[in-house]
Amino acid sequence: MVPIDSELVRLLMRLGYAAAWQGLHKESVAIFDGVAAVRPESEMPVIGAAVVAMLTGHEHMAVETLREGALALNPDSALARAHLGVAQRLCGAEEEGLALLQEVATQTTDADAATLAGNVLSMTPEQLKPHFSRP
């Protein structure tokens, strides 16, 4: 396998998220699949795929992807747990999602995960749902 620079992987992840938020879901999944091919041990592209599932209204798939994919790869991933809390809330498992987000917000040393969890804790279920304006 050809070694891939970590900075390139980070750039690809950013591009995948940008594509997802712009509604380019197939393209973002293709990017995350590519990252997973060169970093099969990483939960990060799996988290990206779960975000796409949430953005497309497949919250239950996101929960499954995070539990069976991202957390199977890295059970200690605070970022995967924070995203799982978001997905649970989107699925209507409000108490379970809030408890997980509270745990991540207060007990992790991962600043990104703590920030995500803290921000989402302050949102109502309606605010949490993705809203897009389409031309």
- CATH code at position 65: 1.25.40.10
Residue-level pLDDT at 134: 46
In a domain, 134, yes or no: no
In a domain, 82, yes or no: yes
Residue-level pLDDT at 2: 64
In a domain, 42, yes or no: yes
In a domain, 43, yes or no: yes
Domain total for the chain?
1
In a domain, 116, yes or no: yes
Encode pLDDT of 4-24 as tens digits. 889 999 999 999 999 999 999
Residue-level pLDDT at 130: 79
**CB neighbour list of residue 80: distance below 8 Å, 6 or more residues apart:** 43, 46, 47, 66, 70, 71, 74
In a domain, 55, yes or no: yes
pTM here is: 0.92
In a domain, 69, yes or no: yes
In a domain, 1, yes or no: no
Residue-level pLDDT at 125: 87
Domain extent, residue 119, equals 6-124
Residue-level pLDDT at 132: 58
The residue with tokens 């990017």 is 31
Cα distances from 44 to residues 16, 51, 96, 122, 131, in angstroms, run 11, 11, 23, 24, 24
All residue ranges of the chain with pLDDT < 70 are 1-2, 132-135
Residue-level pLDDT at 1: 59
Residue-level pLDDT at 26: 97
